[in-house]
Structure 1
């Protein structure tokens, strides 16, 4: 069985200020580093083969902290699992987005969901496949990917539908989500994978706190 664990990076100051980050490279803050360490400690209850990360510093450092907790080499940085690009909305708060881009107004430079999935899904399948051998019938393997909220939301929704991940459900900084590779495709095992009872913490923030641009869209 070949397993993939997606981990959202720890908190940044822009997360705390509710600013859209996207491709803007904002580092972890101290709480974010603590969240990454906590995720690493939870993951350390199982064995892993490798850690991969988005090259954006908040995810790369999260991956490095996790890798150290797992006793693995520093993560390989894979640009294809970087956060969704939000163009001219990056750096804005939710209220600023609503003022500048009222409902139905295109955001210049914003990456569509189809574009996001077109780059993310093949990369994640290949990363997962390489952890378990040449093909799905290879040896069992486990890999961690430190990535971003919009990436995780897009992948979960694509493979499992809205019944698992409702629009109002936030994806916590440092949260862990597990998938299995079956017949060349990812299958969701657990959203907010508990690993052990200690990691079961339901999201409590309103969805708009996470990302004002992750509402339903035609793209």
Structure 2
């Protein structure tokens, strides 16, 4: 069985996360809590040998990946545009309330990327990596909505929000597809041999 194992890690916290603002594709940096979350994530990831580390090019994911990779004695191989967070259009930077409600439309927000498009883009990037690194272990640092929507599509589940810097471990088999072992640091499967 040729399993490709992925750790899908959401970036650490930013000030906009703390303020509950929609970030989307706006490039907001990590805050100090987020840097600490990135350092803490190393412990959960150190139990595996990783063949490569890739991330979204947005600074919050890139810095999280750099911190994690350094903690594991690795370096980030590349930044993949396909891993950028869902664009929320006019809603980016807004918090829940009248301003956000004013840009809401059926299925999302004015100018926003659709969930379907985000899921297809994110899963496409992961499938490309699964093909390139077949049978190996790939550590990916990206964004919460992108990871959740890609995993929803890959596994046929409807998952809750992805926590900052938590371990999400998924396996890809070229024939059998995707199997989620850990989500938000919690084991979902009894054990997958990797």
Above 0.5 in TM-score? Answer: yes
Q: Distance in 1 between matches of 2:104 and 2:80?
A: 34
Counterpart pick for 2:165 among 152, 155, 174: 174
Q: Distance in 1 between matches of 2:153 and 2:184?
A: 16
Q: Which moved more, 1:75-84 or 1:180-189?
A: 180-189
Indicate how the Cα distance of structure 1 residues 172 and 113 shifts in structure 2: closer, same or farther if over 3 A, else same. Answer: same
Tell me the alpha carbon deviations over residues 141-163 of structure 1, each in whole angstroms, 9 at most, x when there is no partner: 11110000101110221123346
Tell me the alpha carbon deviations over residues 167-209 of structure 1, each in whole angstroms, 9 at most, x when there is no partner: xx332111121111112633322222448xxxxxxxxxxxxxx
Q: Which moved more, 1:171-180 or 1:182-191?
A: 182-191
Q: Distance in 1 between matches of 2:59 and 2:77?
A: 12
User: Cα offset for 1:98?
Assistant: 4.4
CA RMSD of aligned residues (A): 2.0
TM-score w.r.t. structure 2 length? 0.86
5+ long unaligned stretches in structure 1: 133-139, 196-219
- The corresponding residue for 1:67 is 69
5 Å matches for 1:19-168? 19-102=21-104, 104=106, 107-132=109-134, 140-162=135-157, 165=159
User: Cα offset for 1:72?
Assistant: 1.0
Q: Distance in 2 between matches of 1:106 and 1:7?
A: 24
TM-score w.r.t. structure 1 length? 0.77
5+ long unaligned stretches in structure 2: 188-194
Contact 2:39 2:67 in 1 (8 A): yes
Q: Distance in 1 between matches of 2:97 and 2:45?
A: 36
